[in-house]
Structure 1
Amino acid sequence: MSRFLFVTDLDNTFVGDDDALRELSQLLSKHRQEHGTKIVYATGRSPVLYEELKQERNLMEPDALVLSVGTEIYLDKRDTPDTDWSKKLSEGWNREVVLSKTAEFSELKPQPDTEQGQFKVSFFVEQSVAAGILPQLESSLSESGLDVKLIYSSGIDLDIVPSSSDKGQAMQFLREKWNFVSERTVACGDSGNDIALFAVGEERGILVGNARPELIQWHNENPVNHRYLAKNVCAGGIIEGLKYFGFL
């Protein structure tokens, strides 16, 4: 057994089955202590919502936090985002222009202030209208000279972030920082905003058994040997996948 980099989404992936979560947390904690494995939570949650979940589920302390869909990285329990990552995201990003352009679309309902960030503008968009307006919005933002991308997930959440920002690129940033090869890196997820974790390179991927339709569809349309669709749900599916890849 040797160390590996473990990166996981939280809601309905790491969290969702309390018994399996306890078992997985014990396994990971032991592996970190004995082999130097690094544990990263990569979630769409803001710092405020992450703290709520951490207290509610008594989550183990990670080595790094990737929050707000990859727009913020926190290292070593610090309460300010990593400056190297923030500097990388600032190129081609102008929050005021994003706000100006999105104001032209009445279908976009702003998410609470706690869910907005320096490099993230977030809305609720009903699935019934999303397919019609998102291409128009993307075109409008592009014509403004912004280098941004739209992440739509769970049939309601829209995040507008810098093109250089997502969970996958944040994972790559940490992988290189800590000198892990892709073969010793594993990512786990359940929804559309986790596709970035699975599409960035040849890191091992675990889709939990309760993965949402948009992720299953993408998985089926982009088959590779280094990705695994588990039968078990949430943390149970992660344990299954870690054993499949030989990490446990």
Structure 2
Amino acid sequence: MSVAPFLFVTDLDNTLVGDDDALEVLNRHLSQHRQAHGTKIVYSTGRSLTSYRQLKAEKSLLDPDALVTSVGTEIYHSNDDTPDPAWANALSQAWDRDLVVASTSHFSDLVPQPQPEQRPFKVSYFLTEEAAVEVLPQLKSVLKERGLDVKLIYSGGKDLDILPRHGDKGLAMQFLRRQLGIDAKQTVVCGDSGNDIALFAVGEERGIIVGNAQPELRRWHDANSSEALYLAKSSCAGGILEGLNHFGFL
């Protein structure tokens, strides 16, 4: 087991959560390492703060040192209910949410997600895989024509999030990593779907892709494999344990 502190950043649904027995074992290791060596635990989820709290009431999750919600567009520290103002300020540059919504309104295949998932720096829709083939290129073109410098993240064959250009899970992770003063090589990120690609694509952080990863993430891994990425055989928390041992963090 490494005696140096590390930054542990993980997605929740179908990554950390999904195998309760493995989660119990992983929680024990992470809790011990945090107490003994000062390791930091961060959850990075597509869920809103409200939805995260619902999950936490249902599952045995450790209290994180920081929480990244809404696909990287909001950062909360410890138990603070107010998003990090510096991160919010960074995302607000050149972001026009009303124009984004207006620009998507004539795409009948875009079905708005429930209101709690619509956030200040995130506009979210359901979009089928079949429709996505035609809709995504057209949507990108419309948004560009209207001068909107945004990022489209499609994951799980159904979820489309439109974010500010400088907002995603990977950039939020790096923002937190710099705040905490932890080196990229002492940082490990974990995920299972397309909205986690940003976690793996930004720098020298170590990445664990769980064994039950979605096809879009597996395809990305096949095209971008490296020694800094580990594709686990086990699913969910079991895959995370496998990866943490592979990289020597546990």
TM-score band, normalised by shorter chain: over 0.9
Show the counterpart of 1:129.
Answer: 131
The letter for the 2-side match of 1:181 is D
Show the counterpart of 1:183.
Answer: 185
User: Following the alignment from structure 1 to structure 2, what is the Cα–Cα distance between the partners of residues 35 and 47?
Assistant: 28
- State the shift of 1:224 in Å: 1.1
Question: Is residue 70 of structure 1 aligned with residue 50 of structure 2?
Answer: no
- State the shift of 1:76 in Å: 2.3
Question: For the Cα contact (< 8 Å) 2:67–2:78, is it kept in 1?
Answer: no
User: Following the alignment from structure 1 to structure 2, what is the Cα–Cα distance between the partners of residues 233 and 76?
Assistant: 28
- State the shift of 1:93 in Å: 0.5
The letter for the 2-side match of 1:33 is Q
User: Following the alignment from structure 2 to structure 1, what is the Cα–Cα distance between the partners of residues 209 and 42?
Assistant: 16
The letter for the 2-side match of 1:157 is D
Runs (4+) off by over 4 Å: none
Report how many residues are paired.
248
Show the counterpart of 1:28.
Answer: 30
Q: CA RMSD in A?
A: 0.6
Compute the TM-score of the two structures, normalised by the length of structure 1: 0.99
The letter for the 2-side match of 1:191 is S
1:154 aligned to which of 156, 180, 186: 156
Secondary structure at the aligned position of 1:106 is classed as coil
Secondary structure at the aligned position of 1:25 is classed as helix
User: Following the alignment from structure 1 to structure 2, what is the Cα–Cα distance between the partners of residues 29 and 114?
Assistant: 31
Deviations 1:194-239 (A, max 9, x none): 0000000010000011111110110001111100001111001100
User: Following the alignment from structure 1 to structure 2, what is the Cα–Cα distance between the partners of residues 82 and 19?
Assistant: 33
The letter for the 2-side match of 1:61 is D
Question: For the Cα contact (< 8 Å) 1:92–1:148, is it kept in 2?
Answer: no
- State the shift of 1:58 in Å: 2.6
Question: For the Cα contact (< 8 Å) 2:103–2:142, is it kept in 1?
Answer: yes
- State the shift of 1:100 in Å: 0.6
Secondary structure at the aligned position of 1:205 is classed as strand
Where structure 2 has 5 or more consecutive residues not aligned to the other structure, the ranges are none
User: Following the alignment from structure 1 to structure 2, what is the Cα–Cα distance between the partners of residues 74 and 48?
Assistant: 12
